[in-house]
Structure 1
Amino acid sequence: MKKYTITGFTVAIMLLFHSCATNPVTGKKDLILMSEEQEIALGAQSDPAVVAQFGLYPDEKLQNFIKEKGEAMAAISHRPELDYTFRVVDSPVTNAFAVPGGYVYFTRGILAHFNNEAQFAGVLGHEIGHIAARHSAQQQSKSTLAQVGLIAGMIISPELAQMGDAAAQGLGLLFLKFGRDAERESDRLGVEYSTKIGYDADEMADFFMTLQRQQEGNGAAIPGFLSTHPNPADRYNTVNQLAGEWKQKLNLTTAKINHDSYLRMIDGLVYGEDPRQGFVENNTFYHPELKFKFPIPGGWGHMNSPQQFQMAPKDGKAMMSLSLAPGESLEAAAQQVLQGYGLQPAESKKVTVNGLPAIAIIATPQPQQQQQQQQQQQNLRVLMYLIQYGGNIYNLMGVTTSTDFNAYFPLFSATMEGFATLTEPDKLKRQPERIEIKTVPQNTTLAQAFRTFNVKDTRMEELAILNGMQLTDPVQKGMLIKVVE
């Protein structure tokens, strides 16, 4: 037995040794249980799920901008051989993130908060740094991927998360939280890469402080590259020091900032939630483009995406979702949805929902699924309404345990039977706010310039942060600033 134990231990050590890969940035051996081919495949598999979850922001010039700058920076990175992909996704959250294999995403929300190209370049370098140093692959090997960005990963219990969209598994790669050392390394690489393509990396440090102010001001979640860890003030000082060192090292005397050209490029950018994609008001979800509405239970959290709308109570004991169902008819859609989720109908009937044809189904997991769930104490029950309207079939689904089903049934039913045609003109015509670039007419303070452009007092601090300035800061005649209209 001792011999076998020693042999097994030796084999384990050998396997760990062969699992070590050379870090492209440091040149040292790292424990990574994923080959580069697997890393690339994982990124390629996750990309469609990311796009489906958020959607691409429909602005060709912005998509071309991030592609052009990303490719230029990737070429001087420590992993130039990767086939990188750069995208702007349609999310109001202020964030940027990367997944293994060369995929980098910036939200329109973070683009709104940059005030020059140099700030953008610093964060771009930071995200490419995560890929270059294989931080995502290391986190995957340590099994510490964060399920941030999905309701199923935030307020719905793990027992119910399995009923969420299949893309949720791929989206576990989103918004990775790295450790302090990884964040510091990516800060350093962000400075190095952005300086090497000619930008002033001092601006990256200023942007960190803008993000910190935003988080302190409205309690918003700190973006991934701020979330773990090093103190923002410490990072500010470190990045400024590194920026000076790299400028000196490269003899860069005229580093690019490009304030005005960047602001002109984002003129008209959608700011905040886009009501055209659906919005919640007075416990009701409205969709102006698809012209429908339905009520939301009071006190429930919600999350909207191009793929689905999700709702859940704070205790995580239930969830509801709305998504499009496949199929040309209600019967075909019901069959495909049940099959896709591994469910079998316990009850099913044709109904009418506010004049719209529908099928109501109570379902349970199929026997093989049920057996597995019983072993895990996850006995689920589902209420589903498939509603035909406007050339689409909508799937409204409520999920909870069998024990709690009767308690949640009235809430599920009220939401699903409240689905109706949207006719209110003010809801149908609702438009998003957009960034507007204004020229300061005279030397004054930022606060006074805002008043010139009829900015409400209640939003002045928000817009000061958006401009990366203080309300008392001086502004000069001819200077470009951002307002929201």
Structure 2
Amino acid sequence: MKLRLFLLLPLLFQLVGCAVNPATGKTDFVMMSEEQEIDLGRNYAEEIAKQYPRYADEKLQAYVQRVGERVARNSHRGNLDYRFTVVDSPDINAFAIPGGHIYIHRGLMAYLGSEAELAAVLGHEVGHVTARHSVRQQSQSTAWGILGQAVAIGTGVGAAGDVTNALGTAFVRGYGRDMELEADGFGAQYLARSGYDPQAMIEVVKVLKSQEDFARDEAQAKGQEAAPAGYHGLFDTHPDNDTRLRQVVASASPLVSGKGEVGRDAYLKMIDGMPFGDSAEAGVQRGQRFYHVGLDFTLAFPQGWGLINRPDAVIVHSGDEQAFLVMSMQGLKEKTDSQSFIRERTGGRGLTGEQSLKQNGLDVTTGVLQGNGAKRVAVIVRDREAFLFVGAVKGRASLESADEQFMQVVRSFRPLQAGEREQGQPWRLHLVQLKAGQSLEELSRQMGGEGDKLKRLRLLNGLYPTGQPQPGDWLKVVR
């Protein structure tokens, strides 16, 4: 048995290789050439384009591309064709995929305060690309999987593959924090080489830590648990006075003459008028009601419940997140009725307690789909569109514990009425100059949006929780 395993291991090592990392100069364990990395990134980018809508402001897109290219040109892999894209999403996030495709969400840009801070985020993501972090992680995961299969074949113990995969996953996850610090270090270098102030890395950490504190305070005020922070890495997990982070920023400072460019005014002018929160194209939430102008519908959800608006679905959930109702839309190739749609989806079985009815002139069929965890299902057909609702509960709770709330949401679905299209327009960021004698409390009363408006105003302008601006400062407000 040992001989069989010994003979299999050379096959593993034929499939892997080592390469000098272009950023660190160290030899890395990799299973992918640069050409393969670029091809992989191109394929990923095509899939991302289907899931993450591009923000429809080409002037802002071009600005972000210019800032990103300025940083990338001063990186260890300036030869790559970098593509920087603003995603039309309110999420606080940014990410990179192999080959130089980098994405920043509109929601994160709303909280940044300068071009240097934007460059810091993009530089961090460029650092992931230059150090080939995704390639190294994938290579480690793949190698452990191959080794697990070799052990399973060589020993005859099928579970060995699971054990080795678990070890490999733990190893890769343990690598994560070092990779994030490495990306911050490279990002700070690239900022300085590009003429930006590398201290912007620290400012971004402050912005994101304040966002995390604000989210926790807002959740506690509602009696809920705060959602996990969206942005990854040291920006998410380390305080702004983290010693290691400050060391990497300090080491980059000598690379720039003087303090370096900040670019606050230029950045604020670029995001003036940008939607804040949901966009009209994705639909917007106003209190306990959701409006979608493009698809001409609105629905309501119960008090104490929340709503998650995703590009592919709207998810309504109970406050304890034990009950979920997912609504998605599907185009129909030919005209059909709601009952026929359900029959096709269930292979002719239909639904238990099935009912077909008219609701606000729309064709509706609803019932319960039996199986491992019963689900409330409803479909609303309008012309060549089918709106499909699927509700389920977690754990051992019965469907009946949330079924009435599910049906409240389904029954609330209707076309927009006269005057409601205005409700479907987003809040937007606007710049105002603080006047002498004007307080933040006074300015906050002009703010739109949900929650504590004074706290939100402070958060948007890097003043959370107690900072004070100076007269003449330009501030971001939501209206």
Equivalent-residue separation in structure 2 for 1:449 and 1:399 (angstroms)? 44
Check whether the contact 1:387–1:394 (CA below 8 A) recurs between aligned residues: yes
Match of 1:118 in 2: 116
> 1:65-464 alignment to 2 at 5 Å?
65-142=63-140, 179-219=176-216, 221-222=228-229, 223-226=231-234, 229-234=237-242, 237-247=246-256, 252-253=257-258, 255-274=260-279, 277-280=282-285, 283-296=288-301, 300-313=305-318, 319-331=324-336, 344-347=347-350, 351-360=357-366, 379=372, 383-389=376-382, 392-398=385-391, 411-423=405-417, 425=419, 428-442=422-436, 448=439, 451=442, 455=446, 458-464=452-458
Check whether the contact 1:206–1:236 (CA below 8 A) recurs between aligned residues: no
Match of 1:483 in 2: 477
CA RMSD of aligned residues (A): 3.8
Equivalent-residue separation in structure 2 for 1:34 and 1:335 (angstroms)? 49
Name the aligned partner's letter for residue 194 of structure 1: L
Name the aligned partner's letter for residue 346 of structure 1: R
Check whether the contact 2:55–2:86 (CA below 8 A) recurs between aligned residues: yes
Equivalent-residue separation in structure 1 for 2:174 and 2:303 (angstroms)? 32
**What TM-score results when the alignment is normalised by the length of structure 2?**
0.76
Equivalent-residue separation in structure 1 for 2:468 and 2:348 (angstroms)? 64
What's the CA shift for 1:353?
Answer: 2.9
% identical equivalent positions: 31
Distance change (3 Å), C-alpha of 1:462 and 1:453: closer
- After superposing the two structures, state which structure 1 stretch, 33-42 or 237-246, moved more: 33-42
What's the CA shift for 1:196?
Answer: 1.7
Match of 1:153 in 2: none
- After superposing the two structures, state which structure 1 stretch, 107-116 or 295-304, moved more: 295-304
Length, aligned pairs only: 429
Name the aligned partner's letter for residue 189 of structure 1: F
Distance change (3 Å), C-alpha of 1:390 and 1:36: same
SS of residue matched to 1:277 = coil
Equivalent-residue separation in structure 1 for 2:444 and 2:302 (angstroms)? 39
Distance change (3 Å), C-alpha of 1:415 and 1:462: closer
Unaligned runs of 5+ in 2: 143-172, 217-226
Name the aligned partner's letter for residue 331 of structure 1: T
Instruction: Output one character per residue of 1:368-400: Cα deviation in whole Å (capped at 9) or x when no partner.
Output: xxxxxxxxxx94665543323366332223457
What's the CA shift for 1:309?
Answer: 0.9
- After superposing the two structures, state which structure 1 stretch, 135-144 or 50-59, moved more: 135-144
> 1:42-81 alignment to 2 at 5 Å?
42-81=40-79
Check whether the contact 2:362–2:381 (CA below 8 A) recurs between aligned residues: yes
SS of residue matched to 1:138 = helix
Instruction: Output one character per residue of 1:248-272: Cα deviation in whole Å (capped at 9) or x when no partner.
Output: xxxx236222221211111111123
What's the CA shift for 1:89?
Answer: 0.9
What's the CA shift for 1:206?
Answer: 1.9
Check whether the contact 2:342–2:350 (CA below 8 A) recurs between aligned residues: no
SS of residue matched to 1:47 = helix
**What TM-score results when the alignment is normalised by the length of structure 1?**
0.75
Distance change (3 Å), C-alpha of 1:239 and 1:61: farther
Name the aligned partner's letter for residue 308 of structure 1: A
What's the CA shift for 1:186?
Answer: 0.8
Equivalent-residue separation in structure 2 for 1:21 and 1:179 (angstroms)? 20
Equivalent-residue separation in structure 2 for 1:337 and 1:102 (angstroms)? 44
Equivalent-residue separation in structure 1 for 2:342 and 2:193 (angstroms)? 51
SS of residue matched to 2:386 = strand
Unaligned runs of 5+ in 1: 145-175, 365-377
Check whether the contact 1:330–1:359 (CA below 8 A) recurs between aligned residues: no
Equivalent-residue separation in structure 1 for 2:411 and 2:269 (angstroms)? 47
Distance change (3 Å), C-alpha of 1:308 and 1:202: same
Instruction: Output one character per residue of 1:108-166: Cα deviation in whole Å (capped at 9) or x when no partner.
Output: 1221122211111111110111111122233334559xxxxxxxxxxxxxxxxxxxxxx
